[in-house]
């Protein structure tokens, strides 16, 4: 299941999730021994999943081969993979057909002239990271391997809709949308074809036209603007509209919501109402499932996050499952989506390596391509904790910023920095986002007052006093069950609770600060080689443990966030 709703009524879309054959390849003999034609042996595994939850593969980094047989009526097929960690090489009937880089972004490809009958699909996944990979080797989560999200193949006929990005502006009273679509159409047949194309948003048809394309031609089409009355998507009332783009032989169904997010005079407004971001950072990870996170648990994470009084989540540090973002659309939770550039381990030389910059760019392109229509995504994150004072980072940030801005859609852009005093890239941010760990890695609780004031003064000196600030990461590690009630002792649940209370109260009363994302919602598994005191090989800063049992901090955050929510709605 890749979406919460049915994406096609006309197109035949086949799920390839379920039983696959699987074989690890620690000695890298697969290709020379011809495994691309079919695996010589192999266990049955369930896709989607990660192999690090199979027996004796807990720490396995390397290649894993997967095989799936399927039948088709033939013709033009479109394959879609939600996530292969991290490198994917793909063969169909022994012929190499695709390769993809990047664990967390979706990809698809089209193959023509496929014969009717049975076929063998082989995927070689490789989860090894190095200093030039994104994410690079030193990273604060565990690099699981495998086919971690669903796999589909579609049987395409005639003129098909490959993509429909719906763009709009709202009237001053927010009641009317001026709307158009950026459509990508494709002729899947070996002859020229013509077709009627329609797009409907709810009850309103916004486009009706004729196109003709030669064999296997792709066409991008910007439809003329139409005006429709709309109800808004908001945190309190997340109204969604179904969008159906249809040709005579194909369709693509998606959902959109209409809303306006903007910053003005150091405040953020959603639909012209001032909003405070009260959130958590969430990794889509669980010890039993790794990154192949089940939809049932996504819903439970959301239930808990709403119970906390949050109105937003930062998807640290990569695009999270489409189905999770569908749930956020439905439940009115604002989302920050970013790509996995986790900066701390990058050297300056590697960061500016054109291959690395381009990999980041490709991930941004893929994130925008698949996630464009989600109303819940109100923030695009460009990168996290790269050493921004290095000269090259300015150019890279500009490049990513310019791309995200040029794609349109009404979103705020930011990057999470750990250099509030010398970051030269604030000019690219709609909101300045700061990651800091005073009271944990450095300083004490009271250092916070000083550093918040330093940032205030720096913004004024830079002529950016209008830019709002989000504290995008702050917190402390706590070992679940370790209690020291009468003294202040690191790693205790009380210490974590106290530092979160201190910082959240400080941020909430500061007029410069428009939001805060606790690091982090749950404990997560990290790399066994991670430095930085990762007790049990987990990052223990979750306010719930890795099995979602609340620590003391959970209840304190819940009191604070729900009180602030009440004040906002009073
Ligand atoms: C950084 C980083 C997080 C996490 C955190 C921590 O800010 O962005 O991914 O590693 O530090 O726990 O130290």
Going by pLDDT thresholds of 50, 70 and 90, the confidence category of residue 345 is: confident
Query: How many angstroms is it from 333 CA to the middle of ligand 1?
Result: 23
Return the best residue to mutate from 283, 435, 533 for the ligand 1 pocket (most ligand atoms within 8 A of CB): 435
Which atom of ligand 1 is nearest to 316's Cα?
A: 9
Query: How many angstroms is it from 483 CA to the middle of ligand 1?
Result: 24
pLDDT, residue 286, reads 97
CATH number of this structure's domain 159-249, picked from the four choices 1.10.10.10, 2.60.40.10, 3.90.550.10, 3.40.50.720: 2.60.40.10
pLDDT, residue 413, reads 98
pLDDT, residue 72, reads 98
Sole residue written with tokens 């793909």: 90
Q: What is the mean pLDDT of residues 389-402?
A: 96
Q: 416-435 pLDDT, tens per residue? A: 999 999 999 999 999 999 99
Q: Is 495 helix (H, G, I), strand (E, B) or coil?
A: helix
Query: How many angstroms is it from 320 CA to the middle of ligand 1?
Result: 18
Which atom of ligand 1 is nearest to 441's Cα?
A: 13
What is the average pLDDT score of the chain?
97
Residues having CB within 6 Å of any atom of ligand 1: 140, 316-317, 384-385, 435, 473, 519, 539, 541
Which atom of ligand 1 is nearest to 532's Cα?
A: 13
Query: How many angstroms is it from 94 CA to the middle of ligand 1?
Result: 42
pLDDT at 528 over 90: no
Going by pLDDT thresholds of 50, 70 and 90, the confidence category of residue 527 is: confident
Query: How many angstroms is it from 339 CA to the middle of ligand 1?
Result: 15
Query: How many angstroms is it from 532 CA to the middle of ligand 1?
Result: 10
Q: Is 450 exposed, middle or buried (0-12, 13-18, 19+ CB in 10 A)?
A: exposed
Going by pLDDT thresholds of 50, 70 and 90, the confidence category of residue 530 is: confident
Query: How many angstroms is it from 11 CA to the middle of ligand 1?
Result: 43
User: How would DSSP label each residue in 174-239?
Assistant: S-EEEEEEEEEEEE-SSS-EEEEEEEEETTEEEEEEEEEE-TT-EEEEEPPPEEEE-PPB-SS-B-
Strand partners of residue 107: 81
Query: How many angstroms is it from 140 CA to the middle of ligand 1?
Result: 7
Instruction: Give Cβ neighbours of residue 443 (< 8 Å, ≥ 6 apart).
Output: 451
**Domain boundaries, given as residue ranges, for the chain:** 12-156, 159-249, 271-569
Q: What number of CA atoms fall less than 13 Å from residue 12's CA on the CB side?
A: 11
Report how far residue 38's alpha carbon sits from residue 21's, in angstroms, rounded to the nearest whole number: 10
Using CA positions, which residue lies closest to atom 4 of ligand 1?
A: 140
C-alpha distances out from residue 304 to 259, 307, 308, 382, 548, Å: 25, 5, 6, 27, 9
Q: 133-179 pLDDT, tens per residue? A: 999 888 999 999 999 999 999 999 999 999 999 999 999 999 999 99
Going by pLDDT thresholds of 50, 70 and 90, the confidence category of residue 469 is: very high
Sole residue written with tokens 């999770």: 324
CATH number of this structure's domain 12-156, picked from the four choices 2.40.160.10, 3.40.50.300, 3.20.20.70, 2.60.120.260: 2.60.120.260
Q: What is the mean pLDDT of residues 401-416?
A: 97
Return the best residue to mutate from 503, 539, 540 for the ligand 1 pocket (most ligand atoms within 8 A of CB): 539
pLDDT, residue 570, reads 84
Return the best residue to mutate from 282, 383, 385, 534 for the ligand 1 pocket (most ligand atoms within 8 A of CB): 385
Query: How many angstroms is it from 556 CA to the middle of ligand 1?
Result: 22
42 or 338: which carries more pLDDT confidence? 338
Q: What number of CA atoms fall less than 13 Å from residue 10's CA on the CB side?
A: 16
Q: 171-194 pLDDT, tens per residue? A: 999 999 999 999 999 999 999 999
Return the best residue to mutate from 135, 139, 140, 522 for the ligand 1 pocket (most ligand atoms within 8 A of CB): 140
Query: What would the CATH number be for the domain defined by 271-569?
Result: 3.20.20.80
Which atom of ligand 1 is nearest to 473's Cα?
A: 7
C-alpha distances out from residue 381 to 335, 400, 404, 431, 525, Å: 10, 10, 10, 10, 23
Token pair, residue 138, equals 């030193």
Query: How many angstroms is it from 516 CA to the middle of ligand 1?
Result: 15
pTM of this prediction exceeds 0.75: yes
């Amino acid at each position: 299941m890749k979406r919460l709703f049915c994406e096609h009524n006309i197109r035949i879309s086949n799920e390839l999730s379920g039983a696959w054959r699987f074989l690890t390849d620690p000695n890298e003999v697969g290709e020379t021994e011809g495994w691309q034609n079919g695996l010589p042996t192999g266990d049955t595994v369930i896709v989607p999943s990660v192999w690090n939850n199979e027996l004796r593969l807990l720490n396995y980094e390397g290649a894993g081969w997967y095989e799936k047989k399927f039948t088709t009526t033939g013709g033009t097929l479109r394959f879609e993979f939600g996530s292969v960690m991290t490198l994917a090489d793909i063969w169909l009937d022994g012929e190499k057909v695709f390769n993809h880089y990047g664990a967390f972004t979706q990809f698809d490809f089209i193959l023509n002239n496929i014969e009717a009958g049975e076929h063998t699909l082989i995927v070689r996944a490789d989860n090894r990271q190095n200093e030039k990979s994104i994410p690079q080797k030193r990273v604060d989560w565990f690099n699981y391997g495998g086919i971690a999200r669903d796999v589909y193949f579609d049987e395409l006929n005639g003129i098909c809709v490959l993509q429909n990005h719906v763009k709009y502006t709202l009237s001053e009273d927010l009641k009317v949308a001026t709307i158009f679509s950026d459509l990508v159409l494709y002729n899947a047949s070996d002859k020229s074809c013509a077709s009627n194309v329609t797009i409907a948003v709810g009850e309103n048809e916004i486009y009706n036209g004729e196109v003709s394309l030669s064999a296997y031609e792709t066409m991008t089409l910007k439809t003329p603007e139409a005006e429709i009355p709309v109800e808004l998507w908001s945190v309190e009332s997340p109204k969604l509209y179904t969008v159906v783009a249809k040709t005579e032989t194909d369709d693509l169904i998606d959902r959109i919501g209409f809303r306006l997010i903007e910053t003005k005079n150091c405040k953020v407004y959603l639909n012209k109402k001032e909003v405070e971001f009260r959130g958590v950072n969430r990794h889509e990870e669980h010890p039993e499932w790794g990154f192949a996170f089940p939809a049932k648990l996504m819903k439970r994470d959301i239930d808990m996050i709403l119970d906390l009084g949050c109105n937003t989540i930062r998807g640290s540090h990569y695009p999270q499952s489409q189905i999770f973002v569908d749930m956020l659309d439905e439940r009115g939770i604002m989302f920050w989506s970013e790509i996995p550039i986790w900066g701390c381990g990058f050297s300056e030389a590697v960061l500016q390596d054109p291959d690395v910059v381009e990999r980041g760019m490709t991930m941004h392109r893929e994130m925008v391509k698949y996630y464009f229509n989600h109303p819940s995504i109100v923030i695009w994150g460009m990168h996290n904790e790269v050493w921004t004072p290095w000269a090259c980072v300015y150019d890279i940030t500009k490049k990513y910023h310019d791309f995200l801005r040029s794609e349109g859609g009404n979103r705020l852009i930011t990057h999470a920095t750990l250099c509030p005093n010398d970051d030269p890239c604030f000019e690219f941010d709609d909101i300045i986002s700061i990651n800091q760990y005073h009271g944990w890695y450095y300083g004490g609780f009271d250092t916070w007052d000083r550093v918040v004031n330093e940032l205030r003064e720096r913004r004024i000196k830079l002529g950016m006093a209008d830019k709002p600030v989000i504290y995008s990461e702050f917190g402390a590690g706590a070992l679940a069950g370790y209690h020291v009630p009468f003294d202040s002792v690191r790693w205790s649940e009380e210490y974590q609770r106290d530092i979160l209370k201190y910082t959240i109260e400080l941020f909430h009363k500061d007029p410069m600060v428009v939001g805060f994302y606790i690091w982090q919602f749950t404990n997560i598994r990290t790399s066994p080689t991670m430095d930085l005191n990762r007790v049990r090989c987990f990052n223990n800063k979750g306010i719930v443990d890795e099995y979602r049992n609340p620590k003391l901090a959970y209840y304190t955050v819940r009191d604070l966030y729900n009180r602030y929510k009440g004040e906002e709605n009073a």
